[in-house]
Amino acid sequence: MTDYDFDIGVIGGGAAGLTVTAGATQLGAKTLLVEKETELGGDCLHFGCVPSKTLIKSAHVYHMMKNAEAFGLPQVEVPPVDFRQVAARIRSVISVIQKHDSEERFCKLGAKVEFGNPAFTDEHSIQLNGRTYTAKNWVIATGSAAMVPPIPGLDKTPHITNREIFSLERLPDSMIVLGGGPIGSEMGQAFNRLGTRVTIVDMADQILGKEDRDMADIVKARMASEGVVFHLQSAIEAVNDLGSEREVIIKKADGNSVSLKSEVILVAIGRAANVGGLELENCGVDYDPRGIKVDRRMRTNQKHIYAAGDVAGGYQFTHAAGYEGGIVISNAIFRLPRKTDYTFLPWCTYTDPSLGSIGMNETMAKNAGIDYKVWEEALKDNDRSLAEGETDGKIKMLLDDKEKPIGVQILGPHAGDLLAEWVAVLNGKVKLSTLAAAVHPYPTIGEINKRVAGTFFSPKIFSDKVKKTLKFFFQLKGRACSPEECVTSD
């Protein structure tokens, strides 16, 4: 039997790679972790979730300060934002979390951590910093980077991606965001709130293309009301560097070309898998522009080499990367043939209002040819939403033809947190009647979860049949006033 240096070698120290490394070492596997940057943590910590949510919070506070009057408070004159202070706060939050993801922590767990640019030399070996490392199993967890499309002129025009946006020296006066997906929308709204004039350009006829249009349109309307300018159904024809500013030429749906100008261009059009430099040809691992191809056990076509996280091209979220890392542990260490199941993988876009989703939305159900019904509850009918001044939004619950819940979307404040109850309900196969009957604290926005389940049962409970039965058995007298007598308040 070949004697390899390591039981498992992990390439990439982000969410997926760190999950595998922590699990494998603690289970007694001799583990190598290779990271090309100088610190562990990956995109989520350094250029993704953590800095973006920290920035969004700063922008939210500033927005609230500017809108104090809406809460019955004195109007306040707010000075302009010094972006260096915002960037400093971002750095300080990262540095706290960095300790969790430090080389020292993983070394203490028992992993050998190496920094550098590895390249496969055969299906069990990599070359790194002039040395060869062999492992019985490998895990490729190198993540993704902003895809920079071949738009004429873009390569010659200064532009930024998620790698640069959190460390800008000053707040840009204006920004054109290429792409109205989650990253473009979150960053577009946040920078607009901080004082940048933001324009978002997208090919599609709605923002947040994976979401139902009715939900995405509410987010767009809010952003537009705050001053974000949208050019949807617009193809980007060319980008030019005009010296003091940048130009983006777009072609609108009516065929007209429009020239947009701004100080900064943010490219947020999509993500490309990080496979460059790994020399995957040498280990025979198949990949395409979407990423490395894997089966449901996260195995590549080389069964001893796994891929997990963004590089595998599936759901590109930190929690998906962590989940897939767990699947790798089950298969590579426990040798259990555990497979991925994304049926109830939740996600959230942290715009304001935020938009969380689990299971199927209407678009997905239609595409899958599933018969469904939607039950809705508006945020404006929730007492806490009114108190908070957060009435834009709603919850949608989709039931299939057997009245089984297949998905839920929540649009409103803290949508990601509100989804947690549905994570338990859907994964735990909890009955809707249990949710509808469970006492929720008042006044909370979370009551909409109970209310939407309740709306499903109300027509059944308060039906004529039930009323007639009760009348028959208990001689109930019925209405105390006629509908005509009722005084309406509106």
Ligand X SMILES: Cc1cc2nc3c(=O)[nH]c(=O)nc-3n(C[C@H](O)[C@H](O)[C@H](O)COP(=O)(O)OP(=O)(O)OC[C@H]3O[C@@H](n4cnc5c(N)ncnc54)[C@H](O)[C@@H]3O)c2cc1C
**Footprint on this chain of ligand X (rule: CB under 6 A):** 11-17, 34-37, 42-44, 47-49, 52, 117-118, 141-143, 162, 183, 274, 277-278, 309-311, 316-319, 321, 350
Task: Pick the closer one to ligand X by CB: 163 or 431.
Answer: 163
Tell me the CA distances in angstroms from 408 to 198, 323, 375, one per residue in order: 31, 21, 9
Residue nearer to ligand X on the CB measure, 118 or 172: 118
Specify the DSSP element, H or E, that contains 82: none
- The Cα-based distances of 426 to 349, 404, 420 in angstroms read 20, 10, 10
State the angle between helix axes of 447-461 and 415-427 in degrees (0 to 180), rounded to the nearest 10.
Answer: 50
Residue owning tokens 């089984």 = 404
Q: How far is the CB of 39 from ligand X (least distance, A)?
A: 8
Beta-sheet strands, E only, within 141-270: 144-146, 174-178, 197-201, 229-231, 235-241, 246-251, 257-262, 264-267
The answer to whether the peptide bond before residue 74 is cis (omega within 30 degrees of 0) is no
Q: Which is nearer to ligand X, 121 or 240 (CB)?
A: 121
CB of 138 to ligand X, least distance (A): 12
Smallest gap from residue 338 Cβ to ligand X (A): 19
Nearer to ligand X, 271 or 451 (CB): 271
- Which residues have a Cβ under 8 Å from the Cβ of 344 and sit 6 or more positions away? 358, 359, 423, 426, 427
Between CA 244 and CA 264 the distance in angstroms is 10
**Could you tell me the smallest distance in angstroms from the CB atom of residue 15 to ligand X?**
4
Q: In angstroms, give the least distance from the CB of 317 to ligand X.
A: 3
Q: Is the separation of the CB atoms in 111 and 34 below 8 Å?
A: no
Q: Which residue has the tokens 């738009």?
A: 151
- Name which of 49 and 81 has its Cβ closer to ligand X: 49
Tell me the closest approach of the beta carbon of residue 280 to ligand X, in angstroms: 10
Q: Put residue 143 in one of left, alpha, beta given phi > 0 → left and psi -120 to 50 → alpha.
A: left
Query: Nearest approach, Cβ of 472 to ligand X (angstroms)?
Result: 55
Give me the least distance between CB of 62 and ligand X, in Å please.
19
**Residues in a beta bridge with 176:** 199, 265
Identity of the residue, 291 or 454, whose beta carbon is nearer to ligand X in the bound complex:
291
Q: Which is nearer to ligand X, 48 or 195 (CB)?
A: 48
Using the minimum distance from each CB to ligand X, give the nearer residue, 356 or 454.
356
Residue of this chain nearest to ligand X (CB atom): 14
436, 456 Cβ separation under 8 angstroms: yes
